[in-house]
Amino acid sequence: MRQTRAAVPTWREAPAEAESAGHRFLLRSGMIRQLAAGVFTYLPLGFRVLTKISAVIREELNHAGAQEMLMPALQPAELWQASGRYEVYGSELIRLKDRHNREFALGPTHEEVITSLIKQEISSYRQLPVAFYQIQTKFRDERRPRSGLLRGREFLMMDAYSFHDGYPSLDTFYEIMHDAYERIFTRCGLEYRGVEADAGAIGGQGGSHEFIVLSDIGEDTIAVCGSCGYAANLEKAEVGLCQNRGEEDWSHEDKKPASSFIKTILYNADGQAAAVLVRGDREVNEIKVKQALGVQELRLAEEQEITAWTGTASGFSGPVGLAIPLLVDQEVACMSEGIAGANEEDIHLRGVRPGRDFSLERTGDYRNAVDGDACPCCNGVLTLQRGIEIGHIFKLGDKYTSAFNAEVLQADGQILTPVMGCYGIGVSRLMAAVAEQCHDEYGLIWPEEIAPFRVHIIPVTSKDALQMQTAEKLYQDLSGLGVEVLLDDRDERPGVKFNDADLFGIPWRIVVGKGVTEGRVEVRRRGTEQADSLPVDEAVRLVAFLTEPTAK
Amino acid sequence: MRQTRAAVPTWREAPAEAESAGHRFLLRSGMIRQLAAGVFTYLPLGFRVLTKISAVIREELNHAGAQEMLMPALQPAELWQASGRYEVYGSELIRLKDRHNREFALGPTHEEVITSLIKQEISSYRQLPVAFYQIQTKFRDERRPRSGLLRGREFLMMDAYSFHDGYPSLDTFYEIMHDAYERIFTRCGLEYRGVEADAGAIGGQGGSHEFIVLSDIGEDTIAVCGSCGYAANLEKAEVGLCQNRGEEDWSHEDKKPASSFIKTILYNADGQAAAVLVRGDREVNEIKVKQALGVQELRLAEEQEITAWTGTASGFSGPVGLAIPLLVDQEVACMSEGIAGANEEDIHLRGVRPGRDFSLERTGDYRNAVDGDACPCCNGVLTLQRGIEIGHIFKLGDKYTSAFNAEVLQADGQILTPVMGCYGIGVSRLMAAVAEQCHDEYGLIWPEEIAPFRVHIIPVTSKDALQMQTAEKLYQDLSGLGVEVLLDDRDERPGVKFNDADLFGIPWRIVVGKGVTEGRVEVRRRGTEQADSLPVDEAVRLVAFLTEPTAK
């Protein structure tokens, strides 16, 4: 393609609100433009990247045995009421009324639509398993859209759904999808981690993994063991057994560190009171608490509940003499003694001894992991890392199939409610994650398989007829061999061309400069210092060879 | 692909509300399913058709020099207010508010978005011409969604936009796009007509063509000359000069045919009164009247206006003595005499003579063409035909570039407002139009280039191991040659398989039946009676040859 047709002018500077390097380069290189907060236009170069990512996803999911289809964005509110999510989803769900005043949601996900379809179309166990996917535009009214494509309000997503006659089949397909995801992200050139995750609001039983691209600007935190490879997101990450830290120095009475305190946090758990005890410098992990208690809903106790349960205001709760269930984090259980609230205003108890002064009956792992914690698998050391979630797979069980009465007949005439898996990849978010990981100070460095073009041909001096002719010949020859080439056919100064080329980040570059009088051009790889001077025909052969699609 | 994975069960009957044959077959064959009125899911087979149509469009538009991109569905209301269409578009425009109460429209089209982008990105005449397109989901809240995909509320559309430094460039590109459209529709196997059209509400100056698929269920009417090939939609179709029909037989005073009457229709044209006179059996063409008067808005006069202008109620207006401008259709001017209202309740005037009793100063072509009218080009005979609009191209001029102040600098330093073209194809509608044209009484008959698969392999007897093995071998061999094959691997009776195959409408069919004991299979073409019995390997070679993509 000729650059005069394909590209819009690049920007010297990104607008101030573009806070991450990847977002700045996507804007500066003219890949994307913002239309409204969290709403973007993909310009031709950016659209090509999006298309290539989609192609990789399609190949791997077709290979996994999923069928592509397309569901609508406009979803009748009744479907969301049937699943109970119309209220739960809150103001992230974009709602509208049609001219007949019927309520619709703009789909942020499609569990309801696919399950109601399956109910209609599938009636026998012999039709299972089935797996469908789509690459489709989703809508979520994020409270604070940020980092460009990373958290948008309109975004491209792949969502897949599978239905099975039981967990053995779901478990097998889940593994197949897990492997497909690994191949997809590897082919997209990402450094990522597949981590154990909590199924969260989508409501699953039985298993969930997230795929996290390591990046300091990410909103997710994962805990990774440097020894055994254990990795989980913070919500899920278990903490290994604590070592008793021995007696502490209590000589300085005044300034005790936060680690000397026992925090008592009160919760309303499905209507019942519960207290969770963690060390003063730790945070309660509510997912763990919820699972330990086996409850549906867990929320911080309100002021009047705290008063009713402890006899005093919030901020002074303590475990001693408290007549509600105490969930004691294992780290607290290991303390020789600590400082705790006394359930009396402005009074703290010192020298509180776990086991003596309150029960350790329900000791367990109830807090978020921190840097340096023991790995739950190998007792190695956990490190916390920031990352961007680009994919998520869930075993949903029968949550949706039950809600929609999607039943099938078994061989023995019995009725069966299929179990379901769902699988998502943020396609536009993946593009943004690549931009965050793959750049240098000058611009983007696209991985081969998803680059907008494989080769960028740059004649140095636009006024030099031989350079322009040679560039044109290279363009024709490589295009003829099926290589995707961008030709910088603009009448611009060399500096402008090279700066733009660095911004675009196309993997291979052929520079047609002075050497052309001796029949030579320069082949460079973006992001490396290496440059080879080669005869024109040899350059064509080399680049055509280097850009062959890699065997899969 | 294996049918057990790709297809959902077919339906014996379509629901009663599916009123056209194409829509019934798309439903029965499991290509699409309705989620809400005018909102559809594309199941795997249907999605493949949609993908193939999109691929044909992409090839031809890339060849025409347009660049693919992707714009958002969520469009800030301010953009629509800037163009003045926020009100004009009425309740077809789906509106919503985000969580911060900002108003958005769900894009039914993208003139506003692309023009505001061009204003931002293009500053010099040297960057023109540019042409962009997208294949993207559109939203229009139709009052009465009908005929399945033909008039949906959420639908897939290709929309392209070009910007030029003047009409010569726009005219050239318009022709290129016209040719691309012809190739697209031909490759999709459609019988269609490119006709002159009115630019209508989208607001163009200078030219517009529609592409109409001939079909009795179409909502559009076109006038076609059997002699010279002139074709135009009814809004635009000119009527050739009328021949004076001579004296009429006035002997039977009682029952005069409608053609003896002169209808006087009153309009409010930009606030001014105007009367249009057509024969009693004709319909006023308001587009022609609007153009003749050179007004922006034309609407039927209201009751009080009629009373004010004629002195009597509606239904009794007549041209004699009427003191407002009279637009006399040429056919009325040719009448020797007629019956007209007298501007007095319950009174009609007989023997009214055009020219004597009212002025013929503003005689012209003000009515819709009818079957048998003279062709405006060759005086041949016009025939009216029903059809489905699947594409539309417009020269928009500077309507949007002016509204958005999208200006560029010329070589001489002067400021220029670019002119614009826009070009649309209803992708999902095209799929529906093909289904209307390409079927028989048993099911669909997909044209080669857009069929979901090229070949359908059907073993007759599922219990016959040799038949199943041979079918599997054919499937492997043809797939290995890159042919897209669907294998009916279901355990079903032969009748069920053949009925489903007829519904699906895949062009080539290989039936593996009893002949397989002699190493022979049957090759059939859907929609023909022809069937050839061939040795297995020869069948592979023949079908691989027949399904080679045709040279373009």
> pTM value?
0.90
Q: What is the 3-state secondary structure (H, E, C) of B479-511?
A: HHCCCCEEECCCCCCHHHHHHHHHHHCCCEEEE
Residue A324 shares a structural domain with residue A411? no
pLDDT of residue B484: 95
Whether pLDDT at A551 is above 50: no
The total domain count for chain B is: 3
Q: Is residue B415 part of a domain?
A: yes
Write out pLDDT tens, residues B149-181: 888 999 999 999 999 999 999 999 999 999 999
User: Are A76 and B117 an interchain contact pair (Cβ–Cβ within 8 Å)?
Assistant: no
On chain B, the residues whose CB falls within 8 A of the CB of A141 are 98-99
Write out pLDDT tens, residues B370-393: 999 998 888 889 999 999 999 999
CA of A40 vs chain B CAs: smallest distance (Å)? 6
- Per-residue pLDDT, averaged over B358-373, amounts to 93
CA of A1 vs chain B CAs: smallest distance (Å)? 10
Q: Is residue B313 part of a domain?
A: yes
Residue A74 shares a structural domain with residue A219? yes
User: Which helix (H) or strand (E) element contains residue B5?
Assistant: helix B3-6
Q: Which of A29, A31, A74 to mutate to test the interface with B (most CBs of B within 10 A)?
A: A74
Q: Which of A61-65, B7-11, B319-323, B409-413 has the lowest mean pLDDT?
A: B7-11
CA of B391 vs chain A CAs: smallest distance (Å)? 22
CATH classification of the domain holding B313: 3.90.960.10
On chain A, the residues whose CB falls within 8 A of the CB of B121 are 8-9, 30, 33
The residue in chain B having the minimum alpha-carbon distance to the alpha carbon of residue A132 is B44
User: Which helix (H) or strand (E) element contains residue B167?
Assistant: helix B167-187
Distance (Å, whole) CA B505 – CA B440: 10
Residue A50 shares a structural domain with residue A142? yes
User: Are A67 and B5 an interchain contact pair (Cβ–Cβ within 8 Å)?
Assistant: yes
Give me the percent of chain B exceeding a pLDDT of 70.
95
Distance (Å, whole) CA B485 – CA B481: 10
Q: Which of B26, B74, B100, B492 to mutate to test the interface with A (most CBs of A within 10 A)?
A: B74
pLDDT of residue B206: 67
Q: What single-letter DSSP state applies at residue B439? A: B
On chain B, the residues whose CB falls within 8 A of the CB of A33 are 117, 120-121
Q: Is residue B326 part of a domain?
A: yes
Spatial neighbors of A271 by CB under 8 A, at least 6 apart, are none
User: Are B73 and A69 an interchain contact pair (Cβ–Cβ within 8 Å)?
Assistant: no
| Domain final position from B333, B360, B387 | B360
Chain A touched by B120 (CB under 8 Å)? yes
Q: Which of B7-16, B193-202, B295-304, B355-364 has the lowest mean pLDDT?
A: B193-202
pLDDT of residue B249: 53
Q: What is the 3-state secondary structure (H, E, C) of A491-504?
A: CCCHHHHHHHHHHH
Residue A135 shares a structural domain with residue A226? yes
Question: B516, B472 in Cβ contact below 8 A?
Answer: no
Residue A230 shares a structural domain with residue A262? no
- Per-residue pLDDT, averaged over B382-406, amounts to 94
- Per-residue pLDDT, averaged over A171-193, amounts to 96
Chain A touched by B69 (CB under 8 Å)? yes
Write out pLDDT tens, residues A490-505: 999 999 999 999 999 9
- Per-residue pLDDT, averaged over A402-431, amounts to 96
The more confidently predicted of residues A88 and B189 is: B189
pLDDT band at A87; cut points 50, 70, 90: confident
Whether pLDDT at B451 is above 80: yes
Q: Is residue A3 part of a domain?
A: no
Residue A466 shares a structural domain with residue A390? no
- Per-residue pLDDT, averaged over A403-419, amounts to 95
- Per-residue pLDDT, averaged over B437-462, amounts to 96
User: Of the candidates A154, A186, A78, which has an alpha carbon nearest to the alpha carbon of residue A404?
Assistant: A78
User: Are B69 and A44 an interchain contact pair (Cβ–Cβ within 8 Å)?
Assistant: yes
User: Are B98 and A137 an interchain contact pair (Cβ–Cβ within 8 Å)?
Assistant: no
Give the residue numbers spanning the domain of A475: 453-546
pLDDT of residue B552: 38
pLDDT of residue B236: 85
β-sheet bridge partners, residue B241: none
Per-window interface: A 2-21 vs B, CB < 8 A: 4-6, 8-9
pLDDT band at A200; cut points 50, 70, 90: low
Per-window interface: A 129-168 vs B, CB < 8 A: 130, 132, 137, 139, 141, 143, 153-154
User: Are A35 and B153 an interchain contact pair (Cβ–Cβ within 8 Å)?
Assistant: no
The residue in chain B having the minimum alpha-carbon distance to the alpha carbon of residue A91 is B99
**B94-97 sheet: strands from edge to edge:** B74-76, B103-106, B94-97
- Per-residue pLDDT, averaged over A368-382, amounts to 90
CATH classification of the domain holding B67: 3.30.930.10
Torsion sign (Cα): A244, A249, A250, A253: negative
Whether pLDDT at B421 is above 90: yes
Per-window interface: A 400-429 vs B, CB < 8 A: none
Mean pLDDT across chain A: 91
CB-nearest partner of A117 from B33, B51, B102: B33
Q: Is residue A374 part of a domain?
A: no
Provide the strand spans (E) within A451-545: 455-459, 485-487, 508-512, 520-525, 531-535
Residue B39 shares a structural domain with residue B69? yes
User: Are A36 and B104 an interchain contact pair (Cβ–Cβ within 8 Å)?
Assistant: yes
Question: A530, A524 in Cβ contact below 8 A?
Answer: yes
The more confidently predicted of residues B364 and A236 is: B364
CB-nearest partner of B153 from A74, A113, A137: A74
Q: Is residue B282 part of a domain?
A: no
Residue B127 shares a structural domain with residue B67? yes
pLDDT band at B9; cut points 50, 70, 90: confident
Q: Which of A137-151, A407-421, B390-404, B514-528 has the lowest mean pLDDT?
A: A137-151
| Domain final position from A302, A331, A364 | A364
Question: B135, B54 in Cβ contact below 8 A?
Answer: yes
The residue in chain A having the minimum alpha-carbon distance to the alpha carbon of residue B36 is A76
pLDDT band at B253; cut points 50, 70, 90: low
User: Are B98 and A98 an interchain contact pair (Cβ–Cβ within 8 Å)?
Assistant: no
Q: How far is CA B508 from CA B414, B436, B522, B524, B532, in A?
A: 61, 20, 10, 6, 12
Give me the percent of chain B exceeding a pLDDT of 90.
77
Write out pLDDT tens, residues A379-408: 889 999 999 999 999 999 999 999 999 999
- Per-residue pLDDT, averaged over A468-477, amounts to 96
Residue A418 shares a structural domain with residue A474? no
Helical axes A427-437 vs A21-28, angle rounded to 10°: 100
pLDDT of residue A256: 81
CB-nearest partner of B98 from A4, A71, A141: A141
- Per-residue pLDDT, averaged over A59-85, amounts to 96
Residue A226 shares a structural domain with residue A132? yes
User: Of the candidates A128, A121, A152, which has an alpha carbon nearest to the alpha carbon of residue A138?
Assistant: A152
Write out pLDDT tens, residues B83-112: 999 988 888 999 999 999 999 999 999 999
Q: Is residue A225 part of a domain?
A: yes
Question: A237, A216 in Cβ contact below 8 A?
Answer: no
Q: How far is CA B115 from CA A41, A149, B102, B420, in A?
A: 13, 22, 21, 9
User: Are A72 and B40 an interchain contact pair (Cβ–Cβ within 8 Å)?
Assistant: yes
Write out pLDDT tens, residues A213-250: 999 888 889 998 888 888 888 888 888 877 655 455 55
The one-letter amino acid code at A496 reads: V
CA of A113 vs chain B CAs: smallest distance (Å)? 8
Q: Which of A2, A10, A39 to mutate to test the interface with B (most CBs of B within 10 A)?
A: A39
User: Are B76 and A36 an interchain contact pair (Cβ–Cβ within 8 Å)?
Assistant: yes
Q: Which of A49-53, B27-31, B199-203, B517-521 has the lowest mean pLDDT?
A: B199-203
Q: Is residue A243 part of a domain?
A: no
The residue in chain A having the minimum alpha-carbon distance to the alpha carbon of residue B78 is A36
Write out pLDDT tens, residues A247-284: 555 555 567 888 899 999 999 999 999 999 999 999 99
The residue in chain A having the minimum alpha-carbon distance to the alpha carbon of residue B110 is A41
CATH classification of the domain holding B479: 3.40.50.800
**Size of the A and B interface in Cβ pairs below 8 Å:** 136
Residue B88 shares a structural domain with residue B177? yes
CB-nearest partner of B74 from A5, A36, A50: A36
User: Are B73 and A153 an interchain contact pair (Cβ–Cβ within 8 Å)?
Assistant: no
**A94-97 sheet: strands from edge to edge:** A74-76, A103-106, A94-97
pLDDT of residue B551: 41
Whether pLDDT at A7 is above 90: no
pLDDT band at B250; cut points 50, 70, 90: low
Chain A touched by B124 (CB under 8 Å)? no
Q: Which of B27, B41, B489 to mutate to test the interface with A (most CBs of A within 10 A)?
A: B41
pLDDT of residue B197: 85
User: Are B94 and A94 an interchain contact pair (Cβ–Cβ within 8 Å)?
Assistant: no
Whether pLDDT at B245 is above 80: no
pLDDT of residue A252: 55
Per-window interface: A 239-258 vs B, CB < 8 A: none
Residue A358 shares a structural domain with residue A226? no
pLDDT of residue A552: 39
